[in-house]
Amino acid sequence: MDGLHAPTPPGLGIVPRKAPPLDIAAIPRFWFDNDPFKTRFFDALSLLFPEGEKFFIACVRDYRANITDPALQQQVKDFIYQEGQHGALHTAFNDRLKAQGVQVDRILARQRKIMFDGFRGKLPRRYTLGQTAAAEHLTAIMAHRFTHADVFGRADPIARALFAWHAVEEIEHKAVAFDVLRTVAKGGWLNRAASMLQVSVTFPLHVVLLMNHLLKLDGVLPDPQVWKDGRQWLLGSDGLLRPLLGEYLQYYRFGFHPNDQGDVARIQRWREEFAAHGDARLATDRTLHA
Ligand SMILES: [Fe+2]
Ligand SMILES: [Fe+2]
């Protein structure tokens, strides 16, 4: 570490928690506000997580043997543990989609081909670590947003507990891939900017393609009003993702570091609750209603 930045967000450590027991099978089909578009946005994210997280782990592992700082070495270990647990619980969540007719295995096989045969098979290791740090930044700024009480207010309590647990841990480990890129792989600004530009196209593109597929299965497409209303909810002037634009752009600043942004105080309540009783649903309910 160069001493300029705290290794984890101030006041936070990376806690390697076992995936919390949640009754995933009980989550209804349209679990978010009984709304297909809102539900399928988060379902699409969930479909991207298990393979994406395996990719992130592989890209950070490429440099693991070169890490000399014991603090960063420990963070990488905890990062790998957390991402592994996320993959496990999101796999259970995605298995639920199979019963709805979603070809989950085919979708995941295609993602593996793109990420492991395509990206990792053809691109330099330093660049794929750049892709990982970029994706982790997008995940972290969404995670900060998703821990706002107003976001999941009308969502199913089990599904939102899954996303809240995941969001808290994404915030805890948000700087790990970035720090390995910067201090160990010596990835510079050009790597960071180029990989972020690419991920900013390919990640939303995959979300849209998956949503299109899922909403067609639901029979709500090809109604153009569905995309129109959904776009407003997601990207409109008071949309879900609109407040993230500034934090997104910060990534292109020369002196950017993930721990310099985001309100981490908000997730403290969740962490304290979970540490006390280990019930993700209760911790989420109490945090959202705080
Ligand atoms: Fe994750
Ligand atoms: Fe992550």
Residue 263: predicted pLDDT? 77
Q: Report helix angle 70-98 to 157-172, nearest 10.
A: 160
Cα-flanking dihedrals φ and ψ of residue 88, to 5°?
Answer: -65, -45
- The alpha carbon of 3 and the centre of ligand 2 are apart by a number of angstroms equal to 23
Report which DSSP code applies to 262.
Answer: S
- The alpha carbon of 54 and the centre of ligand 1 are apart by a number of angstroms equal to 10
Ligand that lies nearest to the alpha carbon of residue 86, given by its number in the listed order: 1
pLDDT digits (tens, 9 = 90+) for 233-283: 999 988 999 999 999 999 999 999 999 888 787 789 899 999 999 999 999
Q: How far is CA 257 from the centre of its chain?
A: 18
- The alpha carbon of 222 and the centre of ligand 1 are apart by a number of angstroms equal to 32
Written as one letter, the residue type at 199 is V
Ligand that lies nearest to the alpha carbon of residue 14, given by its number in the listed order: 2
User: Is residue 64 within 8 Å of residue 44, measured between CB atoms?
Assistant: no
- The alpha carbon of 224 and the centre of ligand 1 are apart by a number of angstroms equal to 32
Ligand that lies nearest to the alpha carbon of residue 84, given by its number in the listed order: 1
Ligand that lies nearest to the alpha carbon of residue 163, given by its number in the listed order: 1
- The alpha carbon of 56 and the centre of ligand 2 are apart by a number of angstroms equal to 8
- The span from the CA of 63 to the CA of 132, in Å, is 13
- The alpha carbon of 139 and the centre of ligand 2 are apart by a number of angstroms equal to 7
Ligand that lies nearest to the alpha carbon of residue 132, given by its number in the listed order: 2
Residue partners of 102: CB distance under 8 A and separation at least 6: 94, 213, 214, 217
Residue 6: predicted pLDDT? 53
pLDDT digits (tens, 9 = 90+) for 124-181: 999 999 999 999 999 999 998 888 877 888 899 999 999 999 999 999 999 999 999 9
- The alpha carbon of 53 and the centre of ligand 1 are apart by a number of angstroms equal to 6
Q: How confident is the model at residue 1 (pLDDT cuts 50, 70, 90)?
A: very low
Q: How far is CA 134 from the centre of its chain?
A: 11
Q: How far is CA 60 from the centre of its chain?
A: 16
Domain positions in the chain are 33-288
32: β partners: 155
| For residue 5, pLDDT beyond 60 | no
Residue 221: predicted pLDDT? 80
CA nearest 262: which of 273, 248, 242? 248
Mean pLDDT (whole number) for 50-70 = 98
Residue 8: predicted pLDDT? 55
Residue partners of 219: CB distance under 8 A and separation at least 6: none
pLDDT digits (tens, 9 = 90+) for 131-144: 999 999 999 999 98
Ligand that lies nearest to the alpha carbon of residue 177, given by its number in the listed order: 2
Q: How confident is the model at residue 2 (pLDDT cuts 50, 70, 90)?
A: very low
- The alpha carbon of 174 and the centre of ligand 2 are apart by a number of angstroms equal to 6
- The span from the CA of 79 to the CA of 163, in Å, is 17
- The alpha carbon of 56 and the centre of ligand 1 are apart by a number of angstroms equal to 9
